[in-house]
Structure 1
Amino acid sequence: MSWYCDIAPGHPFHGPYHDQEYGFPLTDERALFERLCLEIFQAGLSWLIVLKKRPSMVAAFDGFDVDKVAAYGDSEMDRLLSDPGIIRNRRKLAAIVENARRLQALRAREGSFAAWIERHHPLSKEDWVRLFKSSFVFMGGEVVGEFLMSIGYLPGAHRADCPVCLKLVSINPPWIQVGEDFYSK
């Protein structure tokens, strides 16, 4: 098994993401939406491409403000499709806008994206995938699994001997609370 922990240390893009974000719990709606969008953009591409384009994507998507993105229409889609600084896949861009609209509806029903995730925890990865597929678009096992690992809801982001894992244990992400055997490989 290949671990992100093996390629990230010292890398100018992977290193900071691995050390400061990957596997750390998130509750802020904008940050959660950004992370979900980044995982959608990564589908079929390398994570390095996503990390390199991340600043341009944050700017292009109004900081991943859910309400602003949900209001995007044809002119914004044309703008995004012509922006060389971002990943310009029409299906992915349309999914981002649709998911912002679905997040608005979810927020109205559930209070927040973070509250919705927490209310469904714990689930198996397969059940998470089913839930996300029924709630959002462009959701597959890798997108959902990586999203949930990246925000601390599924184990596997770091090896047991990774220094970041030791930091995460002190933060106590949700997957530790449900007795997941994180230390088995």
Structure 2
Amino acid sequence: MTDLVRCEWAGTDPLYVQYHDEEWGIPAHDDRHLFEMLCLEGAQAGLAWITILRKRENYRRAFDNFDAALIAAYGDEKIAALLDDPGIVRNRLKVNAFVRNARAFLAVQAEFSSFDAYIWRFVGGAPIVNAWQRLGEIPAQTAEAQAMSKDLKRRGFTFVGPTICYAYMQACGMVNDHVVDCFCRDRLGVR
């Protein structure tokens, strides 16, 4: 039996490998999941993604399974409790961003009927499929990520710079950046 070839960033950590194999790059259209990933990508700013992955279940518990309507209603008492929660990254700016982004997220849903309908416009409704040979070829941001960042910020979102937006696009399958020899490209029907 031959070993599967993966994108090298997945490494050998079982949690990272599972994330790479079962989630990263797979087109996501569920609004709750899209909101969760936007929050987690923002929480990752300045940290290693594996740090956030290891705390993901804690985030789900602490933030009401990323129910934007509940998070949008958080007040000072709930925010103070979150800042005392050792299971998440206790950064005041990032915790406040979850609340602010939940409010902006609900406004986008009201305007576009779903966040999915809004966010996928930045890639024309279908994944952008790249053909990178090596990890080093993959850019940190693109024109699409810059446009997404600019519009999200205009709508009141925070922790949505173009690099975060590009990581979000990769995570949610808006961009397929699996390298050409990664087995996940076959699974996604791309070669």
Sort the TM-score into its range (normalised by shorter chain). 0.7 to 0.9
Query: Which of 55, 76, 79 matches 2:78?
Result: 76
Offset at 1:125? 2.7
Offset at 1:71? 0.8
> How many pairs are equivalent?
167
Distance (whole Å) between structure 2 residues aligned to residue 125 and residue 51 of structure 1: 22
Identity among equivalent positions (%) equals 40
- Label 1:155 to 1:133 Cα distance change in 2 as closer, same or farther (>3 A): farther
The corresponding residue for 2:46 is: 44
Deviation track 1:5-26 (CA, whole Å, cap 9, x = no partner) reads 2142542210110000001111
Pair 1:105-2:107 in alignment: yes
Query: Which of 52, 55, 72 matches 1:53?
Result: 55
TM-score scaled by structure 2? Answer: 0.82
The corresponding residue for 1:146 is: 167
SS in 1 for 2:188: helix
Q: Which range moved further: 146-155 or 16-25?
A: 146-155
Gaps of 5+ in 2: 1-5, 125-142
Contact conserved, 1:39 with 1:147, CA < 8 A, in 2? yes
The corresponding residue for 1:126 is: 146
Distance (whole Å) between structure 1 residues aligned to residue 7 and residue 176 of structure 2: 14
The corresponding residue for 2:16 is: 14
TM-score scaled by structure 1? Answer: 0.84
Contact conserved, 1:160 with 1:166, CA < 8 A, in 2? no
Q: Which range moved further: 114-123 or 33-42?
A: 114-123
Gaps of 5+ in 1: 171-182
Distance (whole Å) between structure 2 residues aligned to residue 115 and residue 97 of structure 1: 22
Distance (whole Å) between structure 2 residues aligned to residue 118 and residue 140 of structure 1: 17
Q: RMSD of the TM alignment (CA)?
A: 1.7
Distance (whole Å) between structure 2 residues aligned to residue 61 and residue 112 of structure 1: 20
Deviation track 1:100-146 (CA, whole Å, cap 9, x = no partner) reads 00111111111010011133433723222222222211211221110
Distance (whole Å) between structure 1 residues aligned to residue 173 and residue 159 of structure 2: 21
Contact conserved, 2:112 with 2:118, CA < 8 A, in 1? yes
